[in-house]
């Protein structure tokens, strides 16, 4: 049976699969300036992007990689999913697994950081 194509309302095709709100909340608990926080958020996002792309590309043939990257570059999310469902078994689970592994690393990194206890605002 053909899988339904999931609605992707986020800015990336995988936004509905990898939820990083727990990371944004943890960063919110830390003593960071606005500029620092923005930088760390952008680093999280780029790490996740590379992680997910690698997870997907590793499952595709050379020819399909090109098609996939073209769809990603054009933000054609429906076409991305159409291709992935056709070519890769359990692709959502694979993306989620890769994303969760990275999230665990990020949380571990944050655990080691001293949290400021006094609010200054």
What are the residues binding other proteins (CB under 8 A)?
7, 9-12, 14-16, 18-21, 23-25, 27-51, 53-54, 57-58, 62, 65-66, 69-70, 72-76, 105-106, 109-110, 112-116, 118-121
Angle between helices 62-73 and 77-87 (to 10 degrees): 160
Nearer to other proteins, 47 or 87 (CB): 47
- What is the closest distance, in whole angstroms, from the C-beta atom of residue 81 to other proteins in the complex? 15
Residue 41 DSSP symbol: H
Closer to other proteins at the Cβ: 6 or 85? Answer: 6
Return the structure tokens found at 14: 């995988």
Query: Please, which residue, 29 or 100, has the CB nearer to other proteins?
Result: 29
Show Cβ contacts of residue 88 under 8 Å, excluding neighbours closer than 6 positions.
56, 59, 60, 94
CB of 111 to other proteins, least distance (A): 11
Tell the smallest beta-carbon distance from residue 79 to other proteins (Å): 12
Nearer to other proteins by Cβ, of 18 and 84: the residue is 18
CA–CA distances in Å: residue 24 to residues 17, 65, 105: 16, 31, 14
Least distance in angstroms from the C-beta of 85 to other proteins: 19
Beta-carbon contacts of residue 51 (< 8 Å; ≥ 6 apart): 98, 99, 101, 102
């Amino acid at each position: 049976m053909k899988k339904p194509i999931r609605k992707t309302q986020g800015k990336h095709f995988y936004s509905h699969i990898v939820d990083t709100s727990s990371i944004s909340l943890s960063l919110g608990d830390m003593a960071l300036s606005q500029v620092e926080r923005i930088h760390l958020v952008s680093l999280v996002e780029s790490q996740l992007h590379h992680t997910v792309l690698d997870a997907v590309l590793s499952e595709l043939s050379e020819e399909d990689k090109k098609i996939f990257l073209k769809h990603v570059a054009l933000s054609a999310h429906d076409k991305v999913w159409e291709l992935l469902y056709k070519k890769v078994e359990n692709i959502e689970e694979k993306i989620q697994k890769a994303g969760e592994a990275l999230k665990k690393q990020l949380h571990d990194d944050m655990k080691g950081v001293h949290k400021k206890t006094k609010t200054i605002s």
